[in-house]
Structure 1
Amino acid sequence: MEEKENQDKRKKSKKRTFNIVISISLLLIIGVGIYGFSVYRSVANTLNRTHEPLKHEVSKNRNAKINFSKQDPISILLLGVDERDNDRGRSDSLILLTINPKDQSANMVSIPRDTRTEIAGQEKEDKINHAYSFGGIDATIETVENFIDIPVDFYIEVNMKSFEGIVDAVGGITVNNTLDFTYEGTHFSKGELQLNGEEALKYSRMRNEDPRGDFGRQDRQRQTIQAIINKGARVKTLANYSDVLEVIGENLRTNLTFNDMKDIQANYKEARHNIQQIQINGNGKEINGVYYYIVPQSERTELSTMLKQHLNVN
């Protein structure tokens, strides 16, 4: 009961951990010195393949392009996309990061997929994760920018199926499960679990049996990503770098260039020591038989004010 009562309260907890987005993208760059130029070149070639620019190079909420060397605060939208046959799919997970290297801090905002808001270019309200199916990454970013009223500078889009390949490439992961449940024929008991790629994907997707719903699933997704990072950061695991690179090259898209990522790693990495995780306050409601997550305007304004201050924008 207490857990349910607390789920609607904004949670801010400082964690000494790698920034999810930077760590996934730079996992191999950080360890490049161990293997030398051949690995560096392979990483560069792979990440250059993942580069897909946005229609607008600079956010409409920015006055100028980001300058990494001056340590301008940045925002990055992480999307886990559930692609389907003959369908663009929907964004299964939305996490917004704001990073301020000067005060060495970062905010990680989980945006519930069922959040009801106006979809960019559609002139109607719908679930925020439907923006991707309507207009892809550009529509999703514009929708998020309008929802929170801040600039979204960069994005990293990951096909959810890639979790399988990455987990298998690093030899499986270990998670600490707090909820006994069965999902798609696989049982997950409480306690420490060793998961392969297929199991990890199922573990990170379940939400209907969780009393915390999408909030519980978001926790499992973050836990799964962190487990991948922890396993992949070990030197011996990087021996499988070619397998990991292949999965990344096929399943990750971003408007960050390889040089951008190197600049972020060089100038922003200390923010990883001070990350606050933020959940957005709201209430579930059925409208015309469809479940939505309703976020009050007061909550949006408060969140916007806090993030603008963190990004040093008006």
Structure 2
Amino acid sequence: MSDLVSPEDNEPRSPARAARPSLWLTVLSLTAFVVLIALGVWQVERRAWKLALIDRVEQRVHAPAQPIPSRAAWPAVSAATDEYRHVSVSGRFLHDRETLVQAVTEEGPGYWVLTPLQRADGTLVLINRGFVPSERRDPSTREAGNPDSQIEVTGLLRITEPKGGFLRDNVPQHNRWYSRDVAAIAAARDLQNFAPFFVDVDAGSQSGSGPIGGLTVIRFPNNHLIYALTWFALAFMLAGRLFVTFGGGLFRRKRFVHETAGGSNASTRRTGSDAGTIVEST
């Protein structure tokens, strides 16, 4: 018995239809493309914001020192408008209420020495007098560097650092400090009428054997351009893949071969009433 073959079985299947993905995969790919482009644009905007921030901070740091904000303005002090401002403040240090905060600096591991400065109006400003190594954490080892008279210090206004350092919480009851949390330090040292910020002293504010000032690190990582290029590159790679999948067949040339019904190769190429015209993809 001879096999029965449907005419459709002998016709080649369209390559474009065979390669066409499912609807959900198409939607997912287009969504991914839009998300990648949006991420790239967001990183470009973030880069512009970071460059503006760096410019503002540079201007604040190198500006002449100005008096710290007045007490009435303290509630409005913020990182956006005031951090790293070059300021000056005068008063007397309360050395018996200093606090040591663990630090790692270019001088090595040790402590920041935070001492309240009492101003003429009775308000207090926490001053980060600078860095001391571990062997000088005892105040008796640096008494010569602790001025008792009225003094003026200049430095950079800094915003409080609440809750602790990276993966380490402050433990006031055991006098272990990992961040410069102004409110927590004030509570632990029974300080009243204190400013909600602190001041990192300049290098010129160091006296005798006192702490080493001027070690404030001002660094703003700015990798947004690399991130933006990465997102855009992934988006265009995906777009290229989508073009190959959906648009590749539109650019395929077709070769038309005309064979007479009685040609020598006609029977081997196609049988049927339309054997005279053959279409081949190239």
TM-score scaled by structure 2? 0.28
Mark the structure with the bigger radius of gyration: 2
Instruction: Report which structure shows greater RCO (CA 8 Å, sep ≥6).
Output: 1
TM-score scaled by structure 1? 0.26
